[in-house]
Amino acid sequence: MAVAWHGPVVEAISWPAARALAAAAVCPGKPGTVPLRQALGRRLAGPLTALVAVPGTDVSAMDGYAVAGPGPWRVVARVLAGGAAHDRPLRAGEAVEIATGAPVPPGAGSVLPYERADATGGQVRGPAEEGRHIRRRGEDVPEGAVVLAEGAVVTPVALGLAAALGHDELPVRPRPRVAVLVTGDEVVDRGLPGPGRVRDAIGPFLPGLVEWAGGRVTGVHHLPDGPGPLRAALTGGWREAAPAWQHAPEEGGRSPERAALADGRSHEPAAVMDGRPPEGAAEIVVVCGASSRGPADHLRAVLDGLAADVLVDGVAVRPGYPQLLARLRDGRLVVGLPGNPFAALAAALTLLAPILRELTGTPAAVETSPLHGVVRPHPRDTRLVPVLRSEVGAIPAGHDRPGSLWGAALAGALAVVPPGWAGERVELIELPPGV
């Protein structure tokens, strides 16, 4: 609740500088190696290569007879997939009965499928074609081939491919953990907001945005206004919890966790910040709605009290001006987002997304476009304008007040309109897509 200006006026940095600074605030995370099942949805930290050729040897593509030379052929053995290979080369005029996937003996020129074979009394006849129905070693995937590039998302199909190529584990990029703290006595997390109340519109969009940028939200926690709960949440870490809107309904739209905090019943114990994050704490903490300078905006004071290093305090962008980036003494980053939901989205794309992309080595798509329609640039600040893509270029989607996500929900991207813009092409930044 920002009702009055308190404290000194701080010069905001430019929007491009804020994005660059956020990315520079982190070192790319170290990749890890995880068992196949745990790799699902992660990004590869190196190219996926074939540890073996597929198939690993020349095998039959059909159930039938592997034959050598011109027919008719005398059936000398039977070879099943997984069974013993035929122990000597086939001579002309010989055949082995063979199953799909079984190794073809050396000397066999082709496989005659059952349905084309006339087999009687240990003899086979039929139209054999040289090379037919034999899958040669490495024909599907040669040994050592790079089948997926570094950075590719490990899909269910990629897991199957990795297994086929001999992998039991995969190197994946780290997935930074993000804890979300939604502040504001007026903010409710379920139901219809009554008079003086507003539904939380930021907590619901952050998990998808974070996931899209390569991270994982460990929990969305609603805090009452006041420095105590904020300080406790920052210093005590936060226990892993289901997103707040999954709690059982409670009067007033407050989660039990939040109600307890509001009543002063359960402040997390404030750990000493001794250079190590609290056990199990997320590497990044996002604080929503306490970033301006009103009497209920305690984030700066709490950060000061914790001797945090404030890296960004205000960005010359509309919406999203009062956003903040700080490093706690234990190394965790705190991203402060404004309470107005569209401003929070703009700020999340300015500071949070570049941090996550840098940590996970996932570059954002780069796109520019002509921009049509009535767009008024700001004299000093960058504007982020929700736009629809069209054949002629980007067109403003409208409904772009800082308090409303309507325009951004309609839009395909945000157009970056620099201060004093005079109609040149603009950069478009992606909005997180649906899954």
Ligand X SMILES: Nc1nc2c(c(=O)[nH]1)N[C@H]1C(S)=C(S)[C@@H](COP(=O)(O)OP(=O)(O)OC[C@H]3O[C@@H](n4cnc5c(N)ncnc54)[C@H](O)[C@@H]3O)O[C@H]1N2
Residues of this chain that interact with ligand X (CB under 6 A) are: 1-2, 5, 182, 184, 186-187, 198, 200-202, 288-294, 297, 319, 321-322, 338-341, 343, 402
The residues with which 79 forms a beta bridge, in sequence order, are 98
The residues with which 287 forms a beta bridge, in sequence order, are 181, 336
**Cβ of residue 289: shortest distance to ligand X, in angstroms?**
3
The residues with which 332 forms a beta bridge, in sequence order, are none
Task: Answer with the entry of ligand X, ligand MOO, none that 108 interacts with (C-beta below 5 to 8 A by kind).
Answer: none
Classify strands 382-390 and 367-369 as parallel, antiparallel or unpaired.
Answer: unpaired
* Distance, C-alpha 15 to centroid of its chain: 24
**Cβ of residue 349: shortest distance to ligand MOO, in angstroms?**
13
Number of residues that bind ligand MOO (CB under 6 A): 9
Contact in structure between 314 and 337 (CB atoms under 8 Å): no
The residue to which tokens 């910040």 are assigned: 273
One-letter-per-residue 3-state SS of 163-213: HHCCCCEEEECCCCEEEEEEECCCEECCCCCCCCCEECCCCCCHHHHHHHC
CB of 110 or CB of 292, closer to ligand X: 292
Contact between 320 and ligand MOO per CB under 6 A: yes
**Cβ of residue 311: shortest distance to ligand X, in angstroms?**
18
CB of 103 or CB of 320, closer to ligand MOO: 320
Contact between 15 and ligand MOO per CB under 6 A: no
Binding segment (CB under 6 A) for ligand MOO, from list 203-211, 248-256, 313-321, 387-395: 313-321
* Distance, C-alpha 389 to centroid of its chain: 24
Contact between 126 and ligand MOO per CB under 6 A: no
How far, in Å, CA of 232 to CA of 242, rounded? 19
297-323: string of b/e by CB count within 10 Å (b at 16+)? Answer: bbbbebbeebebebbbbbbbbbbbbbb
For ligand MOO, which residue of 109, 319, 336, 354 counts as binding (CB under 6 A)? Answer: 319
Contact between 384 and ligand MOO per CB under 6 A: no
How far, in Å, CA of 21 to CA of 39, rounded? 30
Binding segment (CB under 6 A) for ligand MOO, from list 272-280, 282-290, 315-323, 420-428: 315-323
CB of 96 or CB of 299, closer to ligand MOO: 299
DSSP string covering 27-45: PPPPPEEEEGGGGTT-BBS
Contact between 340 and ligand MOO per CB under 6 A: yes
Task: Answer with the entry of ligand X, ligand MOO, none that 291 interacts with (C-beta below 5 to 8 A by kind).
Answer: ligand X
**Cβ of residue 328: shortest distance to ligand X, in angstroms?**
19
**Cβ of residue 243: shortest distance to ligand X, in angstroms?**
13
For ligand MOO, which residue of 361, 373, 402, 418 counts as binding (CB under 6 A)? Answer: 402
Q: Which residues bind ligand MOO (CB under 6 A)?
A: 318-322, 338, 340, 343, 402
